[in-house]
Structure 1
């Protein structure tokens, strides 16, 4: 098969492209570095020529609901339209567990993106996954109160980005499922403990207090609203195994 990966150079897009190749398929990376712009549609028609399936892992960094919604609906809308013109047989969207339960601005954009996919003339699958192990690194970098880094308290069940990539490659090579089973890591973890473990692994020796941050996302996660359901499919790599590979 010939499978295109939108955002194929990102945290999950790159391992998805690798998983597609490992499975014996041809991977086509849709990214600006490859001459494809999802927001304008530039290069999409040429890149999708002969493609059998598309995986959408494209992402944007924003805390604005309007900006997230504009990006996701425009980019995915263009991708679907070009896929339809090219006769693509299956489009797979990577989404996030709990976005329909947590009133968080970025999640509003992902929900709007899911609606675009649900209206697609191309057969579709939406694969929701939990936060990646890399979420600990993101929180370590971003969670600050003034000059002090903090470790946000939350409940999560992190999954390896590489295993999400393998999952997406497998789903794309199959028939459309609609909303697929959630995909999550093997164990629930405390986010603040994850952040502290990551900080230690990369050599941070400063004070890193645990804190219940009063944002919509963190409130929802503390309530367990980002955890998978009991019927979720689970990956294998634990957070402890992931962070051990990052120790200096």
Structure 2
């Protein structure tokens, strides 16, 4: 029997899509969570705190592959270092990390933490794979929904190539079933869209009219976004599900304000 696959962040937006794919491919899956929320039926559930390291060693006992999907606005580098150290002690054979496109190019704390997480994995003794993905359509929806609440809608001067989380989940499941591959090609959405277009299609979907005003992002981050440093570039792989298709699927949630 194959060794279990441990998934951190297995109940999140991405994890909840990856886990069924892993199970469908015949993997035994174990979820690592920090809270006490019960795991979905048929799944082993272990509790550990990646930020402090508490409980990680027993969670990794007998594990062959780790999919590190857990993340947050800060602290990903610290959590990943703790996970990597435990994976080394446990003799894990493959550690697969999800990171973000342009982790080394956008001067914001979230990107720096992701880059630190990548380095922790790459410098470890555990065989590894790192996949950088663009921001999800889900995040784009959250962003435009928040911006559109203003009577005068601010439009940040940046472009996004958001990707459907299902496309990312499918790539991760395939990578988990293979061997360690190092840094693989970035995965981004099928199109690059200015934030103005993301907002326009959202407002049209809601049947709402709002005046807009350009918003200049200040500082080094603004310069990076205006230069397109956040974009994956021509060598990236591309998902197939567009922003418009994603938005159409979510029209009910959008129109009801949920």
What TM-score results when the alignment is normalised by the length of structure 1?
0.86
Counterpart secondary structure, 1:134: helix
Counterpart secondary structure, 1:205: coil
Q: CA RMSD in A?
A: 2.3
Counterpart secondary structure, 2:70: coil
CA contact (8 A) 1:3 1:51 kept: yes
Counterpart secondary structure, 2:76: helix
> Equivalents in 1 of 2:180, 2:149: separation in Å?
45
Instruction: Give the corresponding residue for 1:127.
Output: 131
Post-superposition Cα deviations, 1:130-162, rounded to whole Å, max 9, x if no partner, equal 111112223135548987543323212111111
Instruction: Give the corresponding residue for 1:36.
Output: 48
Question: How much has 1:238 moved relative to structure 2?
Answer: 0.9
Instruction: Give the corresponding residue for 2:24.
Output: 22
Instruction: Give the corresponding residue for 2:118.
Output: 114
Post-superposition Cα deviations, 1:87-111, rounded to whole Å, max 9, x if no partner, equal 2101111111112122122211111
Question: How much has 1:40 moved relative to structure 2?
Answer: 1.9
Question: How much has 1:112 moved relative to structure 2?
Answer: 1.5
Counterpart secondary structure, 2:115: helix
Instruction: Give the corresponding residue for 2:199.
Output: 195
> Equivalents in 2 of 1:208, 1:78: separation in Å?
48
2:214 is aligned with 1:214: no
Q: Select the residue among 65, 88, 94 that pairs with 2:92.
A: 88
Which structure 1 segments of 5+ residues have no match?
Answer: 62-67
CA contact (8 A) 2:157 2:217 kept: no
Question: Which residues in structure 2 correspond to 1:143-222 (within 5 Å)?
Answer: 143=147, 148-201=152-205, 203=206, 205=208, 207=210, 209-215=212-218, 216-222=220-226
CA contact (8 A) 1:89 1:122 kept: yes
Which structure 2 segments of 5+ residues have no match?
Answer: 36-45, 253-258
Question: How much has 1:35 moved relative to structure 2?
Answer: 2.0
Post-superposition Cα deviations, 1:71-91, rounded to whole Å, max 9, x if no partner, equal 122211111122122221011
Change beyond 3 A, Cα 1:93–1:179: same
> Equivalents in 2 of 1:149, 1:58: separation in Å?
32
Counterpart secondary structure, 1:151: strand
Question: How much has 1:208 moved relative to structure 2?
Answer: 5.4
> Equivalents in 2 of 1:196, 1:222: separation in Å?
20
What TM-score results when the alignment is normalised by the length of structure 2?
0.83
> Equivalents in 1 of 2:28, 2:213: separation in Å?
45
The higher radius of gyration belongs to 2
